[in-house]
Structure 1
Amino acid sequence: MFNGNEPSIRSALANAWQRKLPLLAWSLVAAILGVIIRLVESESNIVAQIVAGIFAVAWSVMTFFIVPVIVFRDPSVTEMFKQSAQTFKDTWGESIGALGTIDVVTLLLVLVGIVLGGLTFVVTTGLGTAQLLATLLIGVTAVSVGLLVGKALSGIARTALYVYATRTTAPEYFDDIDFSKI
Structure 2
Amino acid sequence: MSGKFSRGLAVADGSLDMFRANPHLAVLPLCSLLLVGSGFAVAAGIAFHYGLVASLLTNDFLQYTALFVSIALTSSLGTFFNAAVAHCAFRYFDGEDPTVEEGLRAAWEARRAIAVWALTSATLGTVLYILDDKFGFLGSAARLVFDLAWSLLTFFVVPVIIVEDTTNIRSILQESGATFKETWGESVTASLSVSLVTLPVVLVGVACLAGAYFTTNGPTAWLLGTIGLLAVVAGIVASQVLGMVARVALYEYATKDHRVGPFDRRDPSEIFPDSP
Matches within 5 A, 1:1-182: 1-43=92-134, 45-75=136-166, 76-117=168-209, 128-176=217-265, 178-180=270-272
Q: Which runs of 5+ in 1 are unaligned?
A: none
CA pair 95-51 structure 1, distance change in 2 beyond 3 A: same
Secondary structure of residue in 1 paired with 2:227 = helix
Aligned length: 178
Contact kept in structure 1, 2:187 and 2:250, CA below 8 Å = yes
Q: How high is the TM-score relative to the length of structure 1?
A: 0.85
Counterpart-to-counterpart distance in 1, 2:160 and 2:136: 36
Q: What CA deviation, in whole Å up to 9, does each residue of 1:133-178 have, x standing for no partner?
A: 2222221111111111111111111111111111111222222453
CA pair 132-42 structure 1, distance change in 2 beyond 3 A: farther
Counterpart-to-counterpart distance in 2, 1:170 and 1:37: 39
- State the percentage of identical aligned residues: 33
Q: Which runs of 5+ in 2 are unaligned?
A: 1-91
Amino acid at match of 1:90: E
Give 1:119 deviation, angstroms: 7.5
Q: What CA deviation, in whole Å up to 9, does each residue of 1:35-73 have, x standing for no partner?
A: 332333345621111111111111111111001001011
Amino acid at match of 2:199: L
Counterpart-to-counterpart distance in 2, 1:179 and 1:113: 34
